Chain A
Amino acid sequence: QKEVEQNSGPLSVPEGAIASLNCTYSDRGSQSFFWYRQYSGKSPELIMFIYSNGDKEDGRFTAQLNKASQYVSLLIRDSQPSDSATYLCAVSGSQGNLIFGKGTKLSVKP
């Protein structure tokens, strides 16, 4: 059973701080890694994707991938209350689908 694991949280950080969200996956063959943000009652929204080892930056977001450790993370710099949401890590599956973790709930306190 291919799995994606995330700490369910809640992760609470003060406004302006760096939020660090982590994810591990079981399938060494996975090639593509995605981070989605999901506000309560809404559908997932793509915020980052990464395919190669290392860091990928987009504005306040940085995705980090370490395939040897089967670990992917998302850093959010200068966190804002509007970043408060559940962050879903997703990993490519062999069926063409994505395998999702259950998400980490982030709360940014003003």
Chain B
Amino acid sequence: GAGVSQSPSNKVTEKGKDVELRCDPISGHTALYWYRQSLGQGLEFLIYFQGNSAPDKSGLPSDRFSAERTGGSVSTLTIQRTQQEDSAVYLCASSLGSGTSNQPQHFGDGTRLSIL
């Protein structure tokens, strides 16, 4: 497919477990973003990758959250020792990066994470 691909689409796990979410951006898009959306809430920015540059991690809510992007393409978002407040839809977006946010971002279908 030509769009942003995220996996898994749904993840249910027990509190305290680690989870890994994956995002494959649109081919040719150098910028990749992670957001999360809690029920009935707006989108909260988590982290931004531009090409192979070091990411801007300032939006990550705690040190339990980390993300990496290998080879400037696929990204994984890892949440360690999950808590119930981590339950949300995690959305990945990509854009033709130019070092600015002028380019439209296109979203994947998201991963719905539920912490029991």
Contacts and interface: CB of A to CB of B under 8 A. Distances in A.
Interface in B1-49: 31, 33, 35, 41-43, 45, 48
Interface residues of B, number: 26
Contact of A97 (B48, B89, B108): B48
B107 interface: yes
Nearest to B92: A43
Given A101-B42, A102-B42, A96 B48 contact: yes
B83 to A, nearest CB: 23
Contacts of A96: 31, 33, 48, 50, 56, 97, 99-101
Interface in B46-95: 48, 50, 56, 58-59, 89, 91
Contacts of A95: 45, 48, 56, 58-59
A34 B95 CA distance: 13
Interface in A61-110: 88, 90, 92-93, 95-103
Contacts of B31: 96
B58 A88 contact: no
B102 A51 contact: yes
Interface string A27-42: 0000110101000001
A6 B68 CA distance: 33
Max chain B CB contacts within 10 Å: which of A34, A43, A90, A100? A43
Given A95-B45, A97-B48, A43 B102 contact: no
Given A31-B101, A101-B42, A102-B41, 12 more contacts: A34-B105, A43-B89, A43-B110, A51-B102, A93-B101, A95-B45, A95-B56, A95-B58, A96-B101, A97-B35, A98-B43, A102-B42
17 contacts: A31-B102, A34-B104, A34-B105, A43-B109, A43-B110, A46-B106, A88-B43, A92-B101, A95-B48, A95-B56, A96-B50, A97-B33, A97-B35, A100-B35, A100-B42, A100-B43, A103-B42
